[in-house]
Amino acid sequence: MALYLKKNNKFKEFFQLLFGHPMGFAGLAIILIFLGMALFAPHLGTQDPAKSGAVENLLIPPTSQFWFGTDDLARDIWSQIIYGSRISLTIGFVAALITVFSGTLVGLVSGYYGKMVDEVLMRIVDFFMMLPELPLMIVLAAVLGPSMWNIIMVVSLVSWPTTARVVRSQVLSLKERPFVESARCIGASNLQLMFSEILPNVVPLMFAQAVLMVTEAIYAEAVLSFLGLGDPTSISWGMMLNHVFESGVIAESYWWVAPPIVCIVGLIVSFSLLGTAVSDILEPGYKEKRGF
């Protein structure tokens, strides 16, 4: 249980376990590749992904000059894929951060105080849970203009309630545990009980939720962009799919369709693998089974 990224030796142990877990290793490896792509984008044989090329370079299949070929504006697809990873990862991580932070806070307060507080907060959660993602995005795009931050906002807005619910149900059981009662019995205040007694016990759950939210956000970005609700000036994998669909050459240009799909699926799968591995490792007794 007590495997947190807190103490150095625990930290080391956690990663040793993660590397020892086949799924964890695979997931982590793929994510690191994508992270590398995003971080070192300018150094990976790329050119400006938004720059249109010469007419003779329109829609050519992969060559030694254009590794993944070009699109209908003669833009380099390899560069678009590389730079597109920045958008997907940013949206994934930022949305997950916002979602898990706010969801945990609401779930913690709601579960701990119970009664009226719980009732009110859960009704608010219900409201946001029921928000229709697509119409909301369309409206926001119309009002605020399409941008990456709108996608992050919409994804966070509709997905924090899930975390809040999950954390709340965990807190409901944790707050009845003897150690919480003991701490209260020797004078711990509500704030202390919530944040230093209960919260550390929710951390594994937060990790699992964060991983889940990253995949959800990446997926949502792809869908929204594909439907034309993303920022048309930015290059993302979903946007590429949108372009290829609208260009009308989707049936002929496999080199244009395949890379963004492979990347979206690859990134989502890698996070799922990581999520499974992390929840395996945090399972009590796993450490002992692996001989730690």
Partner 1 sequence: MAPRQNKNLIEVKDLKVYFMTRSGPAKAVDNVAFSIKKNQTLGLIGESGCGKTTTAMAVMRFVKPPGKIISGSIRYMGDDIVPMTAEQMRQIRGKEISIVRQEAQNALNPVLTIGKQITEMIREHESISKEEALYRARKQLDLVGISDKRIKSFPHEFSGGMKQRVMVAIATACNPKFLILDEPTTGLDVIVQRQILMMLRKLKKELDLTAVFISHDLSVVAETCDRVAVMYAGKILEESDTISLYSNPLHPYSKALIGAYPSLKGELKELKSIPGAPPSLIDPPLGCRFAPRCELAEDICRKREPAVNIINGRKVACHMVK
Residues of this chain that interact with partner 1 (CB under 8 A) are 1-2, 4, 7, 177-179, 181-189, 192, 196-197, 200-201, 203
Between 4 and 25, CB nearer to partner 1: 4
C-alpha angle 113-116-120 in degrees, rounded to nearest 5:
105
Query: Residue 227 has which token pair?
Result: 């439907």
Phi, psi of 138 (to 5 degrees): -60, -45
CA distance 199 to 205: 10
What count of other Cβ atoms lies within 10 Å of the Cβ of residue 270? Answer: 22
The candidate with the shortest Cα–Cα distance to 148, out of 238, 231, 50, is: 231
Between 3 and 264, CB nearer to partner 1: 3
Query: Residue 127 has which token pair?
Result: 């409201």
Between 22 and 200, CB nearer to partner 1: 200
Provide the minimum distance between the beta carbon of 4 and partner 1 in the complex, in angstroms, as a whole number.
7
Question: If you compute the radius of gyration of the chain from its CA atoms, what whole number of angstroms results?
Answer: 22
Between 217 and 278, CB nearer to partner 1: 278
Provide the minimum distance between the beta carbon of 187 and partner 1 in the complex, in angstroms, as a whole number.
3
CA distance 292 to 290: 6
Provide the minimum distance between the beta carbon of 188 and partner 1 in the complex, in angstroms, as a whole number.
6
Provide the minimum distance between the beta carbon of 224 and partner 1 in the complex, in angstroms, as a whole number.
38
8 Å CB contact between 236 and 225? yes
- How many CA atoms does the CB half-sphere of 212 hold within 13 Å? 15
Between 74 and 183, CB nearer to partner 1: 183
Provide the minimum distance between the beta carbon of 109 and partner 1 in the complex, in angstroms, as a whole number.
18
